[in-house]
Amino acid sequence: MHYLLRRLGFYLLAAWAALTINFFLPRLMPGDPASTLFARFKGKLDPAAIEALRATFGLTDAPLWRQYLTSLGHVLQGDLGVSIAYFPSPVAEVIGTGLGWTLFLAGSAVIVSFAIGTLLGVVAAWWRRGWADSWLPSTLIFVGAFPYFWLAMAALYVLGFTLGWFPLGHAYSDDAVPGWTWAFTADVLRHAALPMTTIVLVTLGGWLLTMRNTMISLLGSDYVNLARAKGLPSAQVALRYAARNALLPSVTGFGMALGFVLGGSLLTEIVFSYPGQGYLLVQAVRAQDYPLMQGIFLVITLAVLGTNWLVDLIYLWLDPRTRDAGS
Amino acid sequence: MSRADATQATGLGAWAHAIRRDRKALSGAIILAVFALVGIAGPWFAGDPSALVGVPLQPPSGAHWLGTNGQGQDVLAQLIAGTRVSLAVGFGVGLAVVLLGALVGVTAGYFGDRVDALLSVFSNVFLVLPGLPLAIVIAAYLPSGPFTVALVLTLTGWAWNARVLRAQTLALRRRDFVAAAVVAGESEWRLLLVEIVPNMLSVLVAQVIGSTVYAIGAQVGLEFLGLGDVARVTWGTMLYWAQNDAALLTGSWWTFVPPGLCVALVGFALTMLNSGFDEITNPRLQLERVWRAFLERRGVPAGRSTPVVREP
């Protein structure tokens, strides 16, 4: 329990750091971009929008610390300001429309990739110098060297454009009616298949290598040798004895990989015009919609922190030593 | 491996030796050398990458080996011009990220206590914040260009290196030769720069290589989003324009395949170089090889475990 609380404290600290970066970033930049922003939008935006923008940045005449506290208070109430590009929609509302899609796409891609990659790592380590150990890692490293979004472009070109096997973009067909029906679910899965596969392909190699390397060093340890000497079935030695312990570094990496994969999936979304956070983020960048941009950063950060805490829970279950240290 | 080899393997001169001996490292080094040569000398031969030379979106032909892009510029000339900027930013950021990471990590590991606690929390926070979204937000506020991209990627990418180097420093700090140097009354600076840092050299080199892979990928990603200077020719902006000119929907694969392949080739070469070094410098893999050779000479199939073998 102590362990979990300490981790929770750390994530709160990280969330606070993200909020602080969000607050000071516009104020630290050379030439005060907030003012130049207002100057640029003068005439294009109505005064109400500019006022909303000022309020978003907390750019009042109050002293800095008071502005800071006001901005923190707003965020705590779920108020992320007003979007410029989608004026007068609040940022929180705009983000809400895309968040589900991103979590669905990136989340399932990470889980699928982790499961397959880790299993392949076990296979590669157990049958040392077999097919899974000799050519699979270097192939996957080569695939992993491509930028996510480039692989997505190539897949879209070959499988979507030339062969016509997959839809060319978006989360579901124009004529589909959203709802919990089989037809709609199948449609969504068909649209998600290609983006998800590209993310899985790029990230697979990392999981495989981490698992393989830890597994190899564990296979030489005494308790595994003893298990084998006792005559336990191979599958039991490989999975229950070696793999369970070898999983620990991979699980630690899982939390950190999450931010990375989310970043990559943002880029993949753009290639597939997938209506998630990445798509919104690019719209925000191109329209210089700073409140929306910062809101997306904040929401993504909070999602990553929350998942990291869940990963800590899993770690606690996997590794009894953390439990003992906590009590 | 004899004693002399073992001592040599820790020095800097061992890198060249390692590259020659390992097939992976050698192929990586050759690919990199070709790219470096193109990056340095290529632009003098390739002509102006921004010149409008023909009809837009022409497929590869004798006149334009890689075709033309959506603006009617030569794709090959752009690729060659882009190599210089992309590699320079990649290696620059790779180096900067490790320097910053070393500064934080070694300081934390060496001084320990409160300094360590503070710096560790600091780098862990940076580690858990999602890098690319943070990079995008910072880059959006700064004037666009290769320097901004480099700065942003350095700021968002150093934390992992700091964490690894802190652990390395902690391990070295406890070693006898450091204790001996302390007893001998060496100054703290000398301890750090002469006793500790040189012993981390192999880790540092591996980190520079790994960070460069990260930097090239992230740089291309940022530029693809339009956060670089889109008037400047780099691999990333080539992909940006390919996406903007709807290369996919017009079937012009030659505008986006070459820059992506280049990024992947450089990344692959760097990774190969790194794993080749690892085979040489990792005592565990080293011993495993010795052991396997020993078994093979006697016609015994190697087992699953990695044994601890004394030098034969």
List b or e across A55-94, with b for residues whose CB sees 16 or more CB atoms inside 10 angstroms.
bbbbbeeeeeeebbeebbeebeeebbbbbbbbeeebbbeb
Nearest Cα of chain B lies from the Cα of A293 at a distance, in angstroms, of 7
Query: First and final CA of chain A: distance in angstroms?
Result: 7
- Domain ranges for chain A, please list them: 2-76, 95-326
Interface with B, mutate which of A150, A210, A258, A261 (most B CBs under 10 A): A150
> B55-102, pLDDT tens digit by residue?
887 888 877 888 888 787 888 888 999 999 899 999 999 999 999 999
Q: Do A145 and B268 touch (CB under 8 A)?
A: yes
- Rounded average pLDDT over B290-297: 77
Interface with A, mutate which of B118, B156, B216, B248 (most A CBs under 10 A): B248
- What pLDDT, on the 0 to 100 scale, is given for residue B145? 83
Signed CA dihedral, A112, A116, A121, A122: sign only: positive
- Poorest-pLDDT segment among A198-202, B198-202, B259-263: B198-202
Beta bridge mates, B74: B68
- What pLDDT, on the 0 to 100 scale, is given for residue A327? 43
Residue numbers of B between 279 and 308 with CB closer than 8 Å to A: 284, 302, 304-307
Q: Please state the CATH superfamily assignment of the domain spanning residues A95-326 in this structure.
A: MetI-like (1.10.3720.10)
- What pLDDT, on the 0 to 100 scale, is given for residue A57? 60
Of A154, A162, A255, the CB nearest to B260: A154
Nearest Cα of chain B lies from the Cα of A94 at a distance, in angstroms, of 17
Nearest Cα of chain A lies from the Cα of B65 at a distance, in angstroms, of 20
- What pLDDT, on the 0 to 100 scale, is given for residue B162? 93
> B104-151, pLDDT tens digit by residue?
999 998 888 899 999 999 998 998 888 888 998 888 888 888 888 999
More confident residue, B270 or A182: B270
Chain B residues whose CB is inside 8 A of the A256 CB are 127-128, 160
Chain A residues whose CB is inside 8 A of the B264 CB are 142, 145-147, 150
More confident residue, A265 or B281: A265
- Rounded average pLDDT over B237-252: 84
Q: Do A308 and B128 touch (CB under 8 A)?
A: yes
Q: What is the pTM of this model?
A: 0.82
Q: Tell me how far CA of residue A254 lies from CA of A79, A175, A261, B119, in angstroms.
A: 30, 37, 10, 23
Instruction: Read off the amino acid at residue A305.
Output: L
Nearest Cα of chain B lies from the Cα of A41 at a distance, in angstroms, of 16
Nearest Cα of chain B lies from the Cα of A294 at a distance, in angstroms, of 7
B65 CB-contact burial (10 Å; exposed 0-12 / middle 13-18 / buried 19+) = middle
- What pLDDT, on the 0 to 100 scale, is given for residue B13? 66
B152 band by pLDDT with thresholds 50, 70 and 90: very high
- What pLDDT, on the 0 to 100 scale, is given for residue A255? 76
- What pLDDT, on the 0 to 100 scale, is given for residue B87? 93
Cβ(B75)–Cβ(B66) under 8 Å?
yes
Strands (E), A258-316: none
> A30-62, pLDDT tens digit by residue?
655 556 666 666 666 666 766 666 666 656 666
CA distance A82 to A45: 13
Residue B297 pLDDT > 70: yes
Q: Pick the residue from chain A with its C-alpha nearest to B160.
A: A256
Contacts of A88 (CB under 8 A, 6+ apart): A48, A49, A52, A82
**Mean pLDDT for chain B overall:** 83
Q: Pick the residue from chain B with its C-alpha nearest to A32.
A: B141
- What pLDDT, on the 0 to 100 scale, is given for residue A52? 65
pLDDT by residue for chain A (327 residues), tens only, comes to: 677 888 899 999 999 999 888 888 877 766 555 566 666 666 666 667 666 666 666 566 667 787 788 778 888 887 777 777 777 778 888 888 888 888 889 889 999 999 999 999 988 888 877 777 778 887 888 888 888 888 888 888 888 888 878 887 777 777 777 777 888 888 888 888 899 999 898 888 888 988 888 888 888 788 888 988 898 888 888 888 888 888 888 888 887 777 777 877 888 888 888 888 888 888 888 887 788 888 888 888 988 898 888 888 888 888 777 776 544
Which value does ipTM take for this structure?
0.82
- What pLDDT, on the 0 to 100 scale, is given for residue A61? 63
Residue B192 pLDDT > 70: yes
* B157 has a chain A CB within 8 A of its CB: no
Contacts of A147 (CB under 8 A, 6+ apart): A267, B217, B220, B221, B224, B239, B260, B263, B264
Of A153, A219, A285, the CB nearest to B248: A153
* B140 has a chain A CB within 8 A of its CB: yes
CA distance B108 to B289: 36
- What pLDDT, on the 0 to 100 scale, is given for residue A59? 61
